Amino acid sequence: MKLYAALVILIALASCNGDDDKEVIDDSAKPIPTPIIKYDIIAVYPHDTSAYTQGLEFYKGKLYEGTGDYSESSLRITDIKTGKVEKKHMIGKDSIFGEGITIFKDKLYQLTWQSHIVYVYDVNNIDKPIKTFNWPYEGWGITNNGTDLIISDGSANLYFVNPDDFKLKTTISVSDNGGPIDSINELEYIGGSIYANVYQSEFILKIDPSSGHVLGKMELPGLAQKFFANQYIPNRTDVLNGIAYDTATKRMFITGKRWPKLFEVKMN
């Protein structure tokens, strides 16, 4: 009986140790997935394949576009439906790489990549800048909230800037539940939120402008393969980049660098 009792105790102890060795998975430690923003592509238009698109803006029925690439950087006005370039201003310096644009109070602001120059134009005459500002960081994307200019520099940061003197007012960092998100690029302010392309990605983020927290994500995979595979040129047709918004009709326009197509999108 003593031997039997000892065996029962040993078996019970082994069972307890086995339970202790089991891995406990805490699902609460996993980042909460970012909500997906649903949308419909409602129209597809031609787009000039010479445009290395850096910034896109809709204003009074026309599409304004800032393009990059050394020696080819420009500012242009385009007819959306035909893709025809109606007006083009070349920056004209091989050392200047044009970047994002925004229109604020009838002035168009155009960033440059590493030259620390911001060009300001009268929106009714893009033939030459009316003034310039210095910007201490790289210039990537720019938009505005009706009061401040909002600028990205390729990091997770977004800078809020006074449009009159270009002095920095505040900075936020873009992050989702997994942490900071790098390479924030082209920007557009829509309905109180900042929408941002992430460089070399196939999605657009919706960002809270007060905290930098990502509120949602538009996934746009495979547009090139689906809509212009026969026009895709390796080492020339580049990545998704370019967001514009028509506040009157609530239409979003999306394109990419040297893409032959411009997409009209309706968010659901």
Q: Where are the domains of the chain?
A: 35-267
* pLDDT value at 4 more than 90: no
27 pLDDT exceeds 70? no
For residue 244, the one-letter residue type is A
**Confidence class for position 29, pLDDT limits 50, 70, 90:** low
* Higher per-residue pLDDT: 203 or 5: 203
| Cα distance between residue 152 and residue 241, in whole Å | 14
Question: What is the edge-to-edge ordering of all strands in the sheet holding 240-246?
Answer: 39-46, 261-267, 251-256, 240-246
Region 97-126: mean pLDDT is 97
Question: How confident is residue 92, by pLDDT bands cut at 50, 70 and 90?
Answer: confident
CA gyration radius for the chain? 25
Q: Say which DSSP state 25 is in.
A: P
**Is the torsion defined by CA of 123, 127, 130, 131 positive or negative?**
positive
Q: State mean pLDDT over 136-162.
A: 98
Per-residue confidence at 210, pLDDT binned at 50, 70, 90?
very high
User: Residue 31: what pLDDT?
Assistant: 77
Domain 35-267 in this protein, CATH class:
mainly beta
Q: What is the mean pLDDT of residues 23-42?
A: 80
- Res 93: pLDDT: 86
The set of long-range contacts for 61-65, using a CB threshold of 8 Å and a minimum separation of 24, is 62/86, 63/244, 63/253, 63/262, 64/101, 64/103, 64/108, 64/123, 65/101, 65/242
Say whether pLDDT at 8 is over 90.
Answer: no
- What is the reported pTM? 0.88
- Which residue is associated with the tokens 């134009």? 121
Indicate the pLDDT class of residue 25, thresholds 50, 70 and 90. Answer: low
Report, as an integer, the average pLDDT of 12-37: 63
Whether the per-residue pLDDT at 264 is higher than 60: the answer is: yes
Range with lowest mean pLDDT among 87-96, 114-123, 136-145: 87-96
Q: Is the pLDDT of residue 16 over 80?
A: no
| pLDDT for 26 | 56
The pLDDT tens digits for 169-199 are 999 999 999 999 999 999 999 999 999 999 9
For residues 116 and 2, the model is more confident at 116
pLDDT of the residue at 30: 75
Average pLDDT over residues 74-79: 96
